[in-house]
Amino acid sequence: MTFPITPRSTLKRIADRGHYDQASVHAVLDAGLVAHVAIAPDGQPVVIPVLYARSDGEIIFHGAKASRLLKYLQAGGEVCVAVTLLDRLVLARSLFESSMNYRSVVVFGKGRLIEGRSEKMDALRTISEHVLPGRWDDARQPTRKELAATTVVAVKIEEATAKIRTGWSEDPEADLALPVWAGVLPINQVYGAPLADPHLLEGVEVPGYLRRMMED
Identify residue 105 by its one-letter amino acid code. Answer: V
Domain chopping of the chain, boundaries: 15-189
Contacts 24+ apart (CB under 8 A), 93-97: 93/169, 93/171, 93/175, 93/176, 93/178, 93/180, 93/182, 94/171, 94/175, 94/178, 94/180, 97/169, 97/170, 97/171, 97/172, 97/175
Tens-digit pLDDT profile for residues 109-158: 999 999 999 999 999 999 999 999 999 999 999 999 999 999 999 999 99
Q: What are phi and psi of 5, to 5 degrees?
A: -100, 105
- 47 and 5 in contact (C-beta within 8 Å)? no
| CA 193 to mean position of chain CA atoms | 23
> In angstroms, rounded to a whole number, what is the distance separating the alpha carbons of residues 143 and 133?
21
pLDDT tens for each residue of 1-40: 899 898 989 888 888 898 999 999 999 999 999 999 999 8
Among the ranges given (76-80, 81-85, 184-188), the one the predictor scored with the smallest mean pLDDT: 76-80
The two most distant CA atoms of the chain are separated, in Å, by 68
pLDDT at residue 194, as a whole number: 92
Say if residue 99's pLDDT is above 80. yes
What are 153-209's pLDDT values in tens digits?
999 999 999 999 999 999 999 999 999 999 999 999 889 999 999 999 999 999 999
pTM of the model: 0.92
Q: Is the pLDDT of residue 105 over 90?
A: yes
pLDDT of residue 151: 96
Q: Summarize pLDDT for 30-73 with one digit per residue, the tens.
A: 999 999 999 988 888 999 999 999 999 999 999 999 899 999 99
CA 59 to chain CA centroid, nearest Å: 9
Do 88 and 185 contact (CB within 8 A), yes or no? yes
Residue 205: its H or E element: none
Please provide the CATH number assigned to the domain covering 15-189. 2.30.110.10
User: Residue 215's pLDDT is what?
Assistant: 79
Q: Would the pLDDT of 216 be above 80?
A: no
